Amino acid sequence: MSAGVCVRCGAVGAVELDHPDGRHQGKPLLPNVVVALCKSCHLAKGRFDRAAGVEAGRPTVGVLVARRAAWLVFLASYGQPVVFPSQVLADFGRFLGVVARLIPADLSWDADS
């Protein structure tokens, strides 16, 4: 634990560093993507991930996309504005770039679904 500000609720004090993309065999999948959460929010995130079915599993692109989606919904669930460190936003952009390269260029978007 270190001192900081929780990105979800804004609490100032002791925070735990969280890897929103999870770990595989004990190592963070994306070690540079890390955010500070207070203990209460970190515990809530674990419950949220379990309920969303994204807590464990082999790290596939689909699993990573699902974890990111669950992470964003989790952060928004507190109902307060969220401030991200610039490094987290930059890594998220790189992540979306990797996903975009995996999608066939001619895959159409169904705006009605």
Q: 77 with 70: CB under 8 angstroms?
A: no
pLDDT values of the chain reduced to their tens digit, one per residue, 113 residues: 789 999 899 999 999 999 888 888 888 888 878 889 999 999 999 998 899 888 877 888 888 888 888 888 898 898 888 877 787 788 888 888 888 888 888 888 877 76
pLDDT value, residue 113: 60
Q: Which pTM does this prediction carry?
A: 0.75
Quick check: is 107 in a domain? Answer: no
Quick check: is 27 in a domain? Answer: yes
Quick check: is 55 in a domain? Answer: yes
Residue-range definition of the domain harbouring residue 23: 2-102
Among residues 27, 23, 18, 25, the alpha carbon closest in space to that of 88 is found at: 18
Quick check: is 36 in a domain? Answer: yes
pLDDT value, residue 1: 72
pLDDT value, residue 62: 82
Number of C-beta neighbours around residue 5 at 10 A:
16
pLDDT value, residue 13: 95
Quick check: is 12 in a domain? Answer: yes
The CA distance from 75 to 72, in Å, is: 5
Quick check: is 6 in a domain? Answer: yes
pLDDT value, residue 81: 81
The CA distance from 71 to 101, in Å, is: 22
Sign of CA dihedral 55, 24, 82, 66: negative
